Structure 1
């Protein structure tokens, strides 16, 4: 006959097996079966740091219409250098500028926010952070240029000679419109000139050519609105593509020539190429700055992709409805209304994910409960929690899985590379999620958490999809 103690013990064992994560207490330890089920991950500590060797990926869904994506920092691009990889403080500073302008754009009304003449410029602020570059061709004959791509911006532009107002340093030769037979300035009465008011200030030159101006959180471009031949691949060539030919430019563009706009306006690339690509594009951001991904247009969609609707709450940007977060297999007790107050956007140019305070507090607390085996630090640059992994160099650490849930039952399990950001080497490694500071500002699903997923923008159908293992 079993003793009362053994009965209690048997009941405890059954409860543990049936519901290992129903109740997590301070000092929770990780069981082997939890790792097996995918609730926790074993991660090599050194993988949290940038590498100096480029690992080229050949995995693309549509090779015919795909461009190689490289981080603007790291060994896979001539525009970057691992030694100049920005600090967490610098990343956050740039992120904050971008977040601030996203919020401004979110609250902006549809009226034109600025006008200018050729000499005195007043331009509205739009957001730009950017982190990933692709190479496209411009002009006839074609010349290749490295452009940062951005789902939060509309206008595609490049620096143009004679750079009369000054240009930032770039690695490619600057575009010279006088050497292209297909270049043509647009007039002030043209439809593209009239349509750029939401993102750009606009004006007229003395020759009635349309002028544009865009001020970003970390830079600006001013120049002529024009049409030019855009070459995505040898078989995908678009004549009369509307671009900005920037003759007065400044900011942190890391040696690239300009910007490829993947936003939602008529002047953005998805709209301009819709007859060929059907308003469909996707990208996969590499797991680290030392590997490559891809940006693909049109073609087939991965069967593994799960789709969530693009919301109408933020019409200028790609808005999504977040419904919840889980940590280590446990769904956090966050009321869904916390995410609905201001909404959420998915953004290729914001580095971290920015959450409402209520959601971030729940995430941070649950994460710390499951990481008690590691040394907490005081935190840095407003990031919490942070850990000292310096004593674990060359070792594996065990971290809880973080998942984001979107409307429609879509669950995105954040890749190992999207959980942490090294703030100060291995001595300060922080959770790569940032507190909005309140529950009323728009939340942002940043590019760190999108890594390794094929993120599919089916704009025609009003959906964004996620397929794991994209690159």
Structure 2
């Protein structure tokens, strides 16, 4: 590493950045049933009966093992945990005030605003100009709400690090010594590249640096010794600045990738939940998915657990040629202006047995993204209005509660052991109807404030975002080679 470090002399100032993301009232949600259909049959087919206890995280980690349930025979499987839950080694050391449901929703809105900003500006990052660059010196906030983490190995000898996995980011980065500007507190010791025999800085003349320079939302530059620099800053002022480098990446013990390109951040700030950095699962050429394409064929899948006290998985590759017939595929849309993001063609929503009266053009106008880091699904205003109206009508027997931040349809379930809520299905191009798991329909602050886990955008032109609450217990299979996304049932419990 260079002894004179340009990163400390200010750092980096730039804008444009992270992410993706993603009518009338339905007055007949439960009217006009087929004659002879009983209420019991109706509930079985069109409703979820949920134990209140299933909505609440347990104080200890579940001992059950989550696997892809036969939907896909993955080559490599990593355990996914919620970074603030009891299954995470970071969970017990979190400050509760930063991770209340209300705070999480505020951070979630910050991530959505960041995504909207990126889509609006649609530009590359600025240039980092060595000693002339400046970096924000005030404390950053959360990287949106990248709630779910995995553990990978970096360096030779291998050191294990917990990273937020993010389908809305391309660059993988970790904190590195020396912290010439600042480093936030993380659980594992900060990576020291001088103690790894496989670490190497990338020069500005290398083709790898050129790839970084063309990546969206990343600022680049050079040191006086022509070493490639990167800087990534998020809308909420979280940031990472450092050297663009190559290193050995180990996924489990069997899959080793030499000369893996990543960011070695020596100036970082933000409330990253004591994780070491970020694993970029976007589709641009510097992402982990692109760099491991020869091994995994551009195929990965994950399952978000139902609560923070249970585990899910992140899987790579596929052994054999068969994927379960239960998996339903819809096209992954490609937008050359936003090469990192995963777009879907959402065309409708159903509540209970009824398809909501929403014209397909409502969704087509702004489009839809799927994002692992957004918590609450965002919908176009008229689509959300129709969903809310139908849901409220079907829940009219339960007492309502005050709104919670961006969530305006909340209930007081004090005294209930079980509740019955209507099923919600998202309809995608290709005749695909995806049932949302019951635990993904409601967002819980306390038992007397349990809310519908959807929100409306402020403008009809804002993109819809399929958040991770609605992804719970689904085996989501990203098949980049065939430009399709699969929804498999029963991914994790």
Q: TM-score, normalised by structure 2?
A: 0.86
* Structure 2, unaligned runs of 5 or more: 1-31
Aligned partner (choices 200, 214, 219) of residue 218 of structure 2: 200
Contact 2:143 2:272 in 1 (8 A): no
Distance 1:118 1:244 in 2: 19
Q: Cα 1:122–1:462, aligned 2, differ >3 Å: closer, same or farther?
A: farther
Pairing 1:178-189 to 2, within 5 Å after superposition: 178-189=194-205
Match of 2:456 in 1: 435
Matches within 5 A, 1:208-287: 208-218=226-236, 219-287=238-306
Could you tell me whether the CA contact under 8 Å between 1:379 and 1:386 is conserved in 2? yes
Greater RCO structure (CA 8 Å; 6+ sep): 2
Alignment check: 8 A CA contact 2:162 2:277 kept = yes
Rounded Cα–Cα distance in structure 1 between residues aligned with 2:44 and 2:240: 51
Deviations 1:268-303 (Å, cap 9, x if unpaired)?
Answer: 011000000011100011111000010000014443
Matched, 1:131 2:147: yes
Q: Which residue of 2 aligns with 1:86?
A: 99
Cα deviation for residue 127 of structure 1 reads 7.0
Structure 2 CA distance for aligned equivalents of residues 57 and 353 of structure 1: 28
Give the CA RMSD over aligned residues: 2.0
Contact 2:128-2:222 at 8 Å conserved across structures: no
SS in structure 2 of the partner of residue 391 of structure 1: coil
Would you say the 8 A contact 1:152–1:261 is kept in 2?
yes
For 1:341-352, list aligned pairs within 5 A: 341-352=365-376
CA distance in 1, matches of 2:235, 2:286: 21
Structure (1 or 2) with the larger CA radius of gyration:
1
The whole-number CA distance in structure 2 between the counterparts of 1:64 and 1:280 is 10
**Cα distance between partner residues in 2 of 1:338 and 1:122:** 40
Secondary structure (helix, strand or coil) at the match of 1:338 reads: helix
1:354 aligns with 2:362: no
TM-score normalised per structure 1: 0.90
2: CA distance between counterparts of 1:230 and 1:149?
Answer: 15
Q: In 2, distance between residues paired with 1:42 and 1:118?
A: 61
Instruction: Spell out the pairing of 1:41-440 with structure 2 (5 A cutoff).
Output: 41-61=48-68, 62=73, 64-81=75-92, 84=96, 86-118=99-131, 120-121=133-134, 128-197=144-213, 198-218=216-236, 219-300=238-319, 301-313=323-335, 314-392=338-416, 395-423=417-445, 425-440=446-461
The size of the alignment, in residue pairs, is 443
Q: Is the 8 A contact 1:45 1:396 kept in 2?
A: yes
Q: Could you tell me how far apart the structure 2 residues matched to 1:131 and 1:187 are?
A: 34
1:126: how far off?
Answer: 12
Alignment of 1:27-42 (within 5 A): 31-37=39-45, 39-42=46-49
Name the SS of the counterpart of 1:449 in structure 2. Answer: helix
Change (3 A) 1:305 1:121: farther
Q: Deviations over 1:359-403 (max 9, x none)?
A: 0000000001100110012312131211011222xx111111011
Q: Does 1:465 align with 2:486?
A: yes
How far residue 217 of structure 1 moved from its aligned partner, in angstroms, is: 3.6
Whether contact under 8 Å (2:128, 2:230) holds in the other structure is no
